[in-house]
Amino acid sequence: MEKAVIISTGEELVTGRVVDTNSTYIADQLFASGVEVVAVLKVGDSRERLLWALREATDLGDLIIGTGGLGPTADDISTAVVAEFFGRKLTLDEEVAQGLKHRFESRGYPWTPNNLKQAFFPEGAEIVPNPLGTAPGFRLRVREQKAIIWLSGVPKEMKLMLKQTVLPWVAGHIQEAQAVLQCTFKIHGLTESRLDDIVAPILFNEGEGLAFRAHYPDLSLRLTVRGGINKEARFQELKRRIRELILPYIYGEGDETLEEVLGKLLREKGWTLALAESCTGGAISHRITKVAGSSTYFKCGAVTYSNESKIQFLQVKNSTLQRYGAVSRETALEMAQGLRRAAEADIALSVTGIAGPTGGTPEKPVGTVWVGIAFQEQSEARLFHFYGDREHIILGTSQAALNWLRLTLLKR
């Protein structure tokens, strides 16, 4: 198996309502598995066009991965059209049908007959379980040793189906020499072009390379080594070279998020954290608490937009707010210190700034943010500047604050 074609279906894709991130994710995962994506085809919920896509995909590739159109409604036609194209009957999978009914009953949802549609599959297909949704996918061996796999179009469901079932199957069907060694570094504190400059001196052989990916506020660098005799040794050597060059900027590897890395660190140290947020409005608390098990180290968060709430909940002095303003080193420090004491936490992180679009001044323009960190015996505050719209500034602030906290904890 060497060449893949991805088909994304859905009227929302061809009418421009939704960006198709599914095909990008699948292409990325296939690339990493050593499978080349020849083309991506996006079509609406139309039988005729889906038939066209299936014809072209079968011509171009030996693995076809499609998404979307597995649901219960009238415009969900993918299963039926795939069956038609490959000349298979649709047959009911009793186990899936029972599972669906059970799911509806246990949740008290009304069972409507159209839901049974999701239990029909092309004859001979194997089910691809969908742990997060009602519509399972399927995998079908078709002519000339080709395979077609169809997954839910809901990104979260698709990702889990791909990881749990599809990628292991793909890995079992590609040749050893094709297999790719890869590793992704998660980076903070460098722009893409600066990162490009720093790693430029590394020399690569054929089949080796770096790929950058900037998805604000994340930046990642992926190393791939494909083929070659001493593949593994070469891979380790290149990893070492990269780490030498950019170590201070790497916060994690693989799929790790910054909040997961930070959670691990707090757990290791046995420290508890409290968060005082102004301009980020709960975004940092939300990131920290998204991590399962965060209740062991997260004490509490205070979203204190107004001056009064900073005084009341964080014991910030009114005189400090009057003299230095809400966006200042002094206020950031008092916010962190006040909450740390009140929450009886080991550490408190505070953020106060101007997320915009209004509220900026010539001295403190939109994007000005003070971040404070308080320990029992010592506190510090740091000034940051961010650019872009409100959401961009909130995102950038949360990333920078969490990373500074990470670096501070590492030094202790």
Our finding on whether 40 is near a second copy (CB under 8 A) is yes
Which residue in 158, 82, 154, 159 sits closest to 122, CA to CA?
Answer: 82
What DSSP element (H or E) covers 26?
A: helix 22-33
Spatial distance between the Cα atoms of 64 and 284, rounded to a whole number of angstroms: 40
Residue 34 CB, shortest distance to a second copy, in Å, is 12
Give the binding range for a second copy (CB under 8 A) out of 91-99, 170-178, 191-199, 402-410: 191-199
Name which of 137, 198, 144 is nearest 7 in CA terms. 137
Residues from 239 through 298 that contact a second copy (CB under 8 A): 275, 277, 280-286, 288-290, 292-295, 298
**30 vs 83, which CB is nearer to a second copy?**
30
Q: How many residues does the chain have?
A: 412
Among 302, 316, 321, 348, binds a second copy (CB under 8 A): 302
Q: Could you tell me which stretch among 22-30, 82-90, 263-271, 400-408 binds a second copy (CB under 8 A)? A: 22-30
Position 350 contacts a second copy (CB under 8 A):
no
Q: Are 153 and 70 in contact (CB under 8 A)?
A: yes
Q: Is residue 51 part of the contact set for a second copy (CB under 8 A)?
A: no
Which residue among 306, 318, 361, 376 contacts a second copy (CB under 8 A)?
306
Under rule CB under 8 A, how many of the chain's residues touch a second copy? 106
Residue 218 Cα distances to 18, 130, 288, 337, angstroms = 22, 28, 16, 29
Residue 116 per-residue DSSP state: G
Residues 201-240 that bind a second copy (CB under 8 A): 211-216, 222
For residue 251, give the nearest of 163, 336, 190 by alpha carbon: 190
The token duo for 238 is 């290149």
Q: Which range of residues in 237-245, 306-314, 329-337, 373-381 is near a second copy by CB under 8 A?
A: 306-314
360 is a contact residue toward a second copy (CB under 8 A): no
Binding mask 85-114 for a second copy (x = CB under 8 A): ----------------------x-xx-x-x
Give the interface segment with a second copy, choosing from 67-75, 162-170, 225-233, 315-323 (CB under 8 A). Answer: 67-75
Among positions 144, 145, 176, 193, the unique one binding a second copy when judged by CB under 8 A: 193
How many degrees, rounded to 5, is the angle at CA 100 between CA 96 and CA 106? 140
C-alpha–C-alpha distance, residues 364 and 339, integer Å: 25
Report if residue 378 touches a second copy, rule: CB under 8 A.
no
Residue 301 found at the interface with a second copy (CB under 8 A): yes
Q: Say whether residue 167 binds a second copy (CB under 8 A).
A: no
Check if the beta carbon of residue 304 is closer than 8 Å to that of residue 314: yes
Cα distance between residue 46 and residue 21, in whole Å:
20
Residues ≥6 apart with Cβ < 8 Å to 147: 1, 62, 63, 64, 139, 140, 141, 173
Stretch that binds a second copy, among 70-78, 238-246, 260-268, 402-410 (CB under 8 A): 70-78
Write down the least CB distance from residue 211 to a second copy, Å: 5
